[in-house]
Amino acid sequence: MARGRDMHRQRGMTLIGMVFVAFIAGVFVLAALRLTPIYLEYMNVHSALNTMKQNLDGTNASPGQIRTALQNQFDIDNVTGLRARDITVERTATGYNVRAAYEGRTQFIANVHFLVEFDKAVEVVR
C-alpha cells in the first residue's frame, strides 16, 4: 500500500519530454545565432547614417559627398552587406533624404531562410 502511494507523488519530466524541450530550445538558440549578425550589421548601418548626418548637417553637401562620407563610415563600421551606391539620396526642400532600405537574408535550416527587411532614413540639412 505504501508503495502505491509513493507512485502518485512522483513528479518530473521523462527523458522523452526533456529531449523534446531541449530540441525546442535548440531551435530558438539557432534562430538567435543566425539572426544576430544581421541585426548587428543593421545597428552599424544605423550608426553610420546618424554619424554621417551629424558630420554633414549644415555643410551644404552634395549627393556625391554624402555617398563618399557614408562609404567611409561603412568602412569604419565594417558594413559588408551594403554599399553607399545602394543608398537612395533624394533632394528635399531643406536638404537631402538619405534612405537605406535593404533586406538581410540568412539560412536557418536546410532550405529554410530568414528574410529581414530594414528601412532607415535620415535627413541631411543643407
Residues in the chain predicted with pLDDT less than 70, given as ranges, are: 1-8
What's the pLDDT at 13?
84
The candidate with the shortest Cα–Cα distance to 30, out of 84, 108, 98, 110, is: 108
Q: What is the dihedral of CA 71, 73, 76, 77, to 10 degrees?
A: -110
Give a yes or no: residue 19 inside a domain. Answer: no
Residues 6+ apart with CB under 8 A from 122: 49, 50, 52, 53, 97, 98
Give a yes or no: residue 85 inside a domain. Answer: yes
Residue 63 and residue 96 in contact, taking contact as beta carbons nearer than 8 Å? yes
**Structural domain count, the chain:** 1
Give a yes or no: residue 42 inside a domain. Answer: yes
What's the pLDDT at 5?
60
Give a yes or no: residue 83 inside a domain. Answer: yes
Give a yes or no: residue 72 inside a domain. Answer: yes
Q: What is the pTM of this model?
A: 0.84
Question: Could you list the residue range(s) of the whole structural domain that residue 121 is in?
Answer: 37-125
Q: Cell digits for 42?
A: 543593421
What's the pLDDT at 3?
59
Q: Other C-beta atoms within 10 Å of 63: how many?
A: 15
The candidate with the shortest Cα–Cα distance to 73, out of 100, 103, 50, is: 50
Give a yes or no: residue 13 inside a domain. Answer: no
